[in-house]
Amino acid sequence: MKIGLSILGTVIVFAIGYFLYQKQLGAIPFLLCSFVLFYFGYRLLPRSPINKNGHLPEEEELEKSPSIPIDTQKK
């Protein structure tokens, strides 16, 4: 269902963009597309490990952290 809605939304956006291009308003789809791509890029950015003091955590803290797995054993 989610894929179907994504496809339907894409088709509608392309139809509106084509209509705007025909009316000489082609900058509007580019502007909206830039907002969407910025949003997707922002969501994909990795979260910074900087703590509340504005410093990177010490190496011992990184090893204890479950969110950042560090494999210390050589294979």
- List Cβ neighbours of 65 (8 Å cut-off, separation of 6 or more): 49, 57
**CA distance linking residue 28 with residue 36, whole number of Å:** 13
Locate the domains of the chain by residue range.
1-44
| Helix 2-22 × helix 27-44 angle, to 10° | 150
> Who wins on pLDDT, 60 or 22?
22
Check whether 59 has a pLDDT greater than 80.
no
Averaged pLDDT for residues 44-73: 62
> Who wins on pLDDT, 63 or 50?
50
CA 35 to chain centre: 11
Check whether 2 has a pLDDT greater than 60.
yes
Taking only the tens place, the pLDDT of each residue in 5-54 is 989 988 998 899 899 999 999 898 889 889 988 988 888 877 666 666 66
Check whether 60 has a pLDDT greater than 60.
no
Q: How far is CA 21 from CA 10, 16, 30, 35, in A?
A: 16, 9, 10, 18
- According to DSSP, residue 58 is labeled P
